[in-house]
Amino acid sequence: MTRHLITSAIPYINGIKHLGNLIGSQLPADLFARYQRARGNEVLFLCATDEHGTPAELAAAKAGKPVDEYCAEMHAVQARIAEGFRLSFDHFGRSSSPQNHALTQHFAGRLQEAGLIKEVSEKQVYSNTDGRFLPDRYIEGTCPNCAYDKARGDQCENCTKQLDPTDLVEPRSAISGSTDLEVRETKHLFLRQSELKDDLNAWIDSKKDWPILTTSIAKKWLHDGDGLRDRGITRDLHWGIPVKNGTKDWPGMEGKVFYVWFDAPIEYIACAGEWAAANGLSDADWESWWRTDKGAHDVQYTQFMGKDNVPFHTLSFPATILGSGEPWKMVDHLKSFNYLNYDGGQFSTSQGRGIFMDQALELLPPDYWRWWLLSHAPESSDSEFTWENFQQSVNKDLADVLGNFVSRVTKFCRSKFDETVPAGGAYGDVENALIADLQKRLGQYQEHMDAIEVRKAAAELRAIWTAGNEYLQTVAPWSTFKEDPEQAAAQIRLALNLVAFYATLSAPFIPDASATLLETMNATDAAWPTDVAASLGQLPVGHAFTVPEVSFAKISDEQREDWQERFAGQRA
RNA sequence: GGCGCGGUAGCUCAGUUGGUUAGAGCGAUCGACUCAUAAUCGAUAGGUCGGGAGUUCAAGUCUCCCCCACGCCA
């Protein structure tokens, strides 16, 4: 038995995520977690909300709520939606948790002790009206280059010129519109990542099985230009983890907080602490997943994330861990995804373009989205969502190939025999050939799942479903029945067992449908198959079942056109 | 402008270290079947693998140049 620690990139607290975000990390992570559990392995699957930073503060202000209250509410919303998609987190934590406060401060203290922190004085724009320092992109003004009047402090969106806030003509706060701004001197902590460049490089080189996408991004950041740059890990904000040196105050850093990119990945670890606390477990229980000196030596740690998150997971977070000098578990396998595009453009949170998780659940059951997204996961390149493709794939795969198989088998049995597994006849060459074929396909399916080749696994699963239809077509029990009812009984007995077999194998992809099928087949205790022949004898003669309702209703052309139109514009 | 990932059948995508007639699913056409959600099964037709040059006995697969899309950075 292997112990699998699995984390998904933690979504930002501000608003509801779209389907591109979902397939970029949470959903494939869930697929892997469910699969490993089904194989009998021990799994700790963690995710959380990333709650600190200016965007959260501003969103809270816009909603007219204190930021902690806003985050608590949004966390509940995201948790409910995650449940809607059947994301099987062992714990869905919060980066604002007490555990993460303590751990983030602990890491900062260790890094300081190791001489990896330096203090840097910077000049930043302060808004007197807002009573806060403004990040570059929250300063607006007229572009000195093209005279566009809504240029941001980091870049002009109109002419794409990169800017410094001080370049802007008539700069103003993007938050309040105030022009009462001044440049102030402020002190911040920087993590000397550059000191760890060789360690990081060696560590990345030791990862032979990482995808090209992952290593190429990491290497670029490591070696491009002057190489890995030191990064500020503190901010002048109210909402965040107070800067401390372990449990002690940090002289000169009063009133400042750690920057989100520093505390967010640490939440992966803190989340395990939250999980333990929420389940009445001890520190030793969660540390056995994270400390290689306390039991985590045999843990396989897999991270899932979109490609934009790769640098933080290959460089920043490892730098924090390596720099601490403590025996924390580091990632073994890092699975990154490209982007899912929407109807010829990008999904966009800021522009409200595409389909958002809450909206998707209003339209269709989670299995529909899970199946399409996973079977079209953007693994090797960006991929494309179109309503036509979605409708065709879901109707064909789920309704026609799988759903209809269940339907034809159970209904045939009911009409010719009854609602129990019929007796009589025996398996012959055709059946043995099918079993051999399925045994081989099961092996390939598992190989793809073990390697987290999501699309390939989906394709193999679909081929396994198809094999059932091929079998029925070959032996034609409806014809057999006229000449030899006993033989027809044997054929349908096998087919009924296939339904349970399929439900078990499909569970990681489509958990709800799988559970429903197992219930109707009265086989909720079905185990993951190893020997196909044995597994297909699981439902014995006389075993009662019920004929299920339509497992997957098809998406009609009218529905598709309606949705296509509804989601063509921006989210209200 | 620099760098990065891509550009393979109508669509969504596979193509290991260069090697026989370039693959899958969907869609299309034809046929079979009628148990089933007008479902299923089979067969066929579709590609000068973005363009050009080069290396090689042999290139979608390596090298160079160009074009296009996307992303990151200055």
Kindly report the CATH number assigned to the domain that includes residue A442. Answer: 1.10.730.10
A412-CA/B13-C1' distance, Å: 36
Distance CA A168, CA A335 (A): 41
Place of tokens 């572009």: A143
Complex prediction ipTM: 0.91
3-state secondary structure A2-41: CEEEEEECCCECCCCCEHHHHHHHHHHHHHHHHHHHHCCC
| Interatomic distance A238 CA / B5 C1' (Å) | 39
Output the distance from A462 CA to B58 C1' rounded to whole Å.
37
In a domain, A279, yes or no: no
Task: Name residue, tokens 């522009």.
Answer: A351
- Model pTM above 0.80: yes
Query: Do the Cβ atoms of A189 and A173 come closer than 8 Å?
Result: no
Residue A402 and residue A514: Cα distance in Å, rounded?
A: 11
Residue A36 CB in 7 A reach of strand B = no
Q: Is A490 part of any domain?
A: yes
The domain in which residue A498 lies consists of 386-535
A393: Cβ under 7 Å from strand B? yes
Distance A489 CA to B40 C1' (A): 20
Q: What is the pLDDT of residue A208?
A: 67
Strand B: list positions under 7 Å from protein Cβ: 3-7, 11-15, 24-27, 32-37, 39-42, 70-74
**Residue A117: helix, strand or coil by DSSP?**
strand
Question: Does any strand B atom come closer than 7 Å to the Cβ of A541?
Answer: no
Q: Is there a domain that residue A110 lies in?
A: no
Q: Whole-angstrom Cα distance, residue A398 to residue A130? A: 54
Q: Does residue A381 lie within 7 Å of nucleic acid chain B, judged by its CB?
A: yes
A160 touches strand B (CB under 7 A): yes
Residue-level pLDDT at A369? 95
The answer to whether residue A147 sits within a structural domain is no
Concatenate the DSSP letters of all residues of A454-476 into one string. HHHHHHHHHHHHHHHHHHHHHH-
- Please give the nucleotide, over all strands, whose C1' is closest to the CA of residue A456: B14
- Whether the beta carbon of A378 falls within 7 A of nucleic chain B: the reply is yes
A285 touches strand B (CB under 7 A): no
How far is CA A465 from its chain centroid? 26
Is A46 inside a domain boundary?
A: no
- Nearest nucleotide by C1' from A415 CA? B35
- A351 Cβ within 7 A of any nucleic strand B atom: no
A389 touches strand B (CB under 7 A): yes
pLDDT the model gives residue A422: 96
Contact A347, A20 (CB under 8 A): yes
What is the spatial distance, in angstroms and rounded to an integer, between the CA atom of A371 and the C1' atom of B69? 27
Q: Bridge partners of A247?
A: none
Query: CA-CA distance, A75 to A12, in Å (whole number)?
Result: 10
A38 CB below 7 A from strand B atoms: no
Domains in chain A, number: 1
Amino acid A311 CA to nucleotide B6 C1' distance, rounded Å: 20
Distance in angstroms, CA of A482 to C1' of B12? 43
Residue type, A145: N
Residue at A543 is within a domain: no
Handedness of CA A471, A474, A479, A485 (dihedral sign): negative
CA distance A120 to A105: 19
Question: Rounded to 10 degrees, what is the CA torsion of A512, A517, A518, A519?
Answer: 90
How far is A65 from A71, CA to CA, in rounded Å? 9
At A216, which helix (H) or strand (E)? helix A212-223
What Cα–Cα distance (Å) separates residue A465 from each residue in A373, A503, A546?
18, 10, 20
- Between residue 296 and residue 325 of chain A, the positions with Cβ below 7 Å from nucleic chain B are 308
Res A206: pLDDT: 78
Strand B neighbours among A 443-472, CB < 7 A = 455-456, 459, 462, 466, 469-470, 472
Q: How far is the CA of A293 from the C1' of B30 (A)?
A: 67
Q: Exposed, middle or buried by CB within 10 Å (0-12, 13-18, 19+), for A202? A: exposed
Tens-level pLDDT at each residue, chain A (572 residues): 889 999 999 999 988 888 988 998 999 999 999 999 999 999 999 999 999 988 898 889 889 999 999 999 999 999 999 999 999 999 999 999 999 999 999 999 999 999 999 998 888 888 888 888 887 778 888 877 667 777 777 766 665 566 677 777 888 888 888 888 888 888 999 998 888 888 888 888 777 666 666 776 777 777 765 667 788 899 888 899 999 999 999 999 999 999 888 999 999 999 999 999 999 999 999 999 999 999 999 999 999 988 888 888 888 899 999 999 999 999 988 888 888 888 767 787 777 778 899 999 999 999 999 999 999 988 877 788 889 899 999 999 999 999 999 999 999 999 999 999 999 989 999 999 999 999 999 999 999 999 888 998 999 999 999 999 999 999 999 999 999 999 999 999 999 999 999 999 999 999 999 999 999 999 998 899 999 999 999 999 999 999 998 889 999 999 999 998 888 766 54
- Residue A419 contacts residue A547 (beta carbons within 8 Å): yes
A464 within some domain: yes
HEC profile for A137-183? Answer: HHEEEECCCCCCCCEECCECCCCCCECCHHHCEEEEECCCCCCCEEE
Confirm if A536 and A498 have CB atoms less than 8 A apart.
yes
Answer yes or no: is A218 within a domain: no
